[in-house]
Copies of this chain bind each other. A is one copy, B any other.
Amino acid sequence: MKKGHQVTMKEIAKKLGVSVSTISRALKDSPELHPETKRKIVEMAKEMNYQPNLLAQSLRISRTKTLGVIVPEITSHFFASCISGIQDHANKRGYNVMICQSNESIDQEIANIKTLVASQVDALLISLSRETNHYEHLYELYSREIPFVLFDRVHEEIPVSKVTFNDAGGAYQVTHHLLEMGCRNIVYVSGPEDLYISKKRKEGYLKALDEYGIKENPELIKISDLTEEGNIRVAQEILMMEPKPDGVFCMIDPVAVDVLTYWKSKGVKVPEEFALAGFTNNPTSAVVEPPLTTVSQPGYEMGKLAVSHLLDQLDGLASDDPISIVLDTTLVPRKSSQKTI
């Protein structure tokens, strides 16, 4: 199957007996052209259904007006929202977007960067995969002076702009809420320990405990690999803990949902036996029974801010000096944590 022919400037030029440069000028509304010629050309272009070849244009001006986006997983509602925010605001400013998913694999992430760079995107927006534990590929982008920003899953050391949530703050909000609900023996279910968000959310958890004069108890920190099996294993472990905890804060909503589902199947009562909370405010969290207390992270907003800042830098509207944008989260208290009262 082959594509049909596309009208070029050359063809319009021939038809009108003028040169291609005149066509080019007319189509970009250059002021030095005779209005009449301009009118004729624009008309003819329309009639012939001319569509500029962005490829040729990009090659010539060495800018594609295209951004590359890499997310761990497009089917995650949070990342889909980020992408949506990025798209809408990139389009608004005349940029297109190429999206790739790393499927949480560092090799795929590296491969994605490579193709996007080969496709000559003007800049990149990257959220790192869970697996990403070395950062040469990012430093290479940096040293090749290809502009990029990191969002949500970031690497703190690299000197580029980053957009994150106040993860520690959000975790503090949740933990503080659980404490206010009367919990004193709160489990933190973390993801893999080297994940940025695992660390940050632990910080907030510990800070809240500290304010209540409760000191860190390593027994109360459980690690899940974030698979359904891993989450269920943690759910089982918690049931066997001695003394029995009274509250559980899961690093992300899906973990909390898996724990809740497992417990329900075993007749464990939430929030009566355990107050439960998650983080992210996935659509799912609002409809589980009982509805899940969580922390809302506006993904669309994050995408919007990340792309706006990046384009400001590209277009010279913002300094190239890296900045860090930190978005606040909001506690969404629901029934799953209403332990007492």
Contacts and interface: CB of A to CB of B under 8 A. Distances in A.
A2 B143 CA distance: 12
Given A2-B145, A98-B96, A120 B55 contact: yes
Interface string A48-78: 0001111110110000101000000111010
B54 A119 contact: yes
A101 B89 CA distance: 12
Interface stretch (A172-180, A204-212, A313-321): A313-321
Nearest to A319: B1
A125 to B, nearest CB: 14
Interface in A250-274: 257, 261
Interface stretch (A21-29, A185-193, A194-202, A282-290): A282-290
A106 interface: no
Nearest to A76: B80
A319 to B, nearest CB: 9
Given A96-B115, A101-B87, A289-B288, A3 B54 contact: no
Interface in A94-138: 96-101, 103, 114-115, 117-120, 122-123
A145 B4 contact: yes
Nearest to A56: B59
Nearest to A98: B98
Given A55-B64, A74-B74, A96 B84 contact: no
Contact of A74 (B54, B80, B114): B80
Interface string A307-330: 000000110100010000000000
A287 B261 contact: yes
Interface size range of chain A in the complex:
35 or more
B75 A75 contact: no
A146 interface: yes
Given A74-B80, A287-B261, A118 B53 contact: yes
Contacts of A118: 51-54
A91 B241 CA distance: 46
A283 B115 CA distance: 32
Q: How many identical subunits does the complex contain?
A: 2
Given A74-B80, A98-B99, 5 more contacts: A2-B145, A54-B120, A55-B119, A74-B84, A283-B283
A248 interface: no
A278 interface: no
A144 interface: yes
A101 B58 CA distance: 23
A257 B287 CA distance: 8
Nearest to A117: B51
Nearest to A292: B287
B74 A1 contact: no
A168 interface: no
Given A147-B1, A284-B283, A77 B74 contact: no
Contacts of A97: 98-99
Nearest to A101: B87
A130 B261 CA distance: 35
A3 B1 CA distance: 37
A59 to B, nearest CB: 5
